[in-house]
Amino acid sequence: MGVFTYETEFTSVIAPPRLFKALVLDADNLVPKIAPQAVKSAEIVEGDGGVGTIKKTSFGEGSQFGYVKHRIDGIDKDNFSYSYTLIEGDALSDVIEKIAYDIKLVASPDGGSIVKTISHYHAKGDVEIKEEEVKAGKEKAAGIFKLVEGYLLANPDAYN
């Protein structure tokens, strides 16, 4: 089994504590509210919300996917880091076994955040995963991020 690793880094004008609350801790409530066309619902199917919890996300009618399930692998509220693994769903293909994600928010000099993500695509067998094949998913995730950031900018008292 081969692993393709994809790293991204981008910035936000929102400070890490506030962005982490919205983007990670309350995403299951916020994202379906502000982007119902993308995410219809998110729910815990097993666990208490901590490490080991399994969550199911159902996508909106405009999505090419129906649902995914992911497992929370780590969460550090003090250091604004979160890791999880996509373990089931139609976003996984016949060539991808699972995708592990690591997200870290760090303070930027201007008071905002630097968002660092690392994705590890675990291929089935000897299949080689190419960067072009993961870009579409990354663009959709960036779109959701921009919606969350826009919500926080438009609602300065939210998630303080």
Higher pLDDT: 128 or 21? It is 21
Give the residue among 25, 55, 28 at the shortest CA–CA distance from 40.
28
Over the chain, what is the mean pLDDT?
Answer: 91
Higher pLDDT: 137 or 69? It is 69
* Phi, psi for residue 117 in degrees, rounded to 5: -130, 140
Which of 55-64, 85-94, 114-123, 134-143 has the lowest average pLDDT? 134-143
User: Span 3-12, mean pLDDT?
Assistant: 91
- Give the per-residue pLDDT at 2: 84
**Whole-number Å distance between alpha carbons of 28 and 122:** 25
What SS3 class is residue 142?
Answer: helix
CATH of domain 3-154: 3.30.530.20
User: Span 71-93, mean pLDDT?
Assistant: 95
- Give the per-residue pLDDT at 147: 93
Side chain identity at residue 39, one-letter code: V
Higher pLDDT: 142 or 39? It is 39
Q: Which helix (H) or strand (E) holds 145?
A: helix 131-154
Q: Which helix (H) or strand (E) holds 12?
A: strand 3-12
